[in-house]
């Protein structure tokens, strides 16, 4: 697990974190309340294992999601998993990116695309999903950059690079 909010924790704020390559779940809210805002949750499951980037389980669980990037790199990884819509206090401006599986949102055991999730729940009208698909297995087109130096770093970005919003990016990439 990356960030594990356990039983009966209240009003926990999970904000501006990068959670990458945890063994099974990136961020878990279990029988807890709070919010997850502006997090990058990337590739959280062991290869060939089922996993989820952001998982809401049990009750009472009441969490607001806003501005998160949930990026899966394998078809069995879910971007989001919720037992029931009532576990969400709201959800908006998130990115659900799974290039190997369009239906990457688990809603009470039903695999949903972003469009079917929006239709079923009325949530995430301002959120986006992947703009390309790749066969599995294939090398990821994505790359996660992390700066642990404590000083600003500038990284040249060669070639044809696009953002999560499918916009051209010419760089350099500056990490604070």
| pLDDT of 34 | 97
Number of residues that this document lists for the chain: 176
Mean pLDDT score of the chain, rounded to an integer?
Answer: 94
Q: Does residue 1 contact residue 28 with C-beta atoms inside 8 Å?
A: yes
CA proximity to 64, closest of 105, 24, 12, 126? 12
| pLDDT of 164 | 92
Distance, CA of 96 to CA of 28 (rounded, Å): 16
User: Please, which pLDDT band fits residue 40 given cuts at 50, 70 and 90?
Assistant: very high
Distance, CA of 20 to CA of 140 (rounded, Å): 14
CA proximity to 142, closest of 99, 96, 79? 99
Distance, CA of 164 to CA of 50 (rounded, Å): 24
Backbone angles phi, psi at 9, to 5 degrees: -75, 145
User: pLDDT, tens digit, for every residue of 127-154?
Assistant: 999 999 998 888 888 989 889 899 999 9
Least confident of 10-24, 44-58, 110-124: 44-58
Q: Encoding tokens for residue 128?
A: 């986006």
What does 82-107 look like in DSSP terms, one character per residue? ES-GGGEEEEES-EEE-TT-S--EEE
| pLDDT of 114 | 98
User: pLDDT, tens digit, for every residue of 6-26?
Assistant: 999 999 999 999 999 998 999
């Amino acid at each position: 697990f990356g960030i594990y909010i356990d039983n009966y924790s209240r009003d926990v704020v999970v904000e501006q974190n990068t959670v990458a390559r945890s063994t099974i779940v990136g961020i878990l809210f279990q029988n807890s309340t709070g919010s997850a805002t502006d997090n990058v949750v990337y590739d959280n499951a062991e290869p060939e294992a089922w996993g989820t980037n952001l998982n809401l389980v049990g009750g009472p669980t009441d969490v607001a999601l806003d501005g998160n990037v949930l990026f899966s790199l394998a078809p069995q990884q879910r971007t989001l998993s919720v037992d029931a819509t009532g576990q969400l206090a709201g959800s908006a401006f998130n990115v659900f990116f799974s290039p190997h599986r369009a239906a990457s949102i688990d809603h009470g055991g039903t695999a949903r695309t972003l469009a079917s999730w929006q239709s079923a729940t009325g949530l995430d009208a301002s959120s986006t999903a992947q703009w390309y698909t790749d066969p599995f297995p294939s090398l990821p087109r994505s790359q996660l950059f992390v700066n642990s130096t404590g000083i600003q770093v500038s990284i040249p970005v060669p070639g044809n690079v696009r953002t999560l919003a499918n916009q051209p990016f010419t760089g350099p990439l500056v990490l604070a």
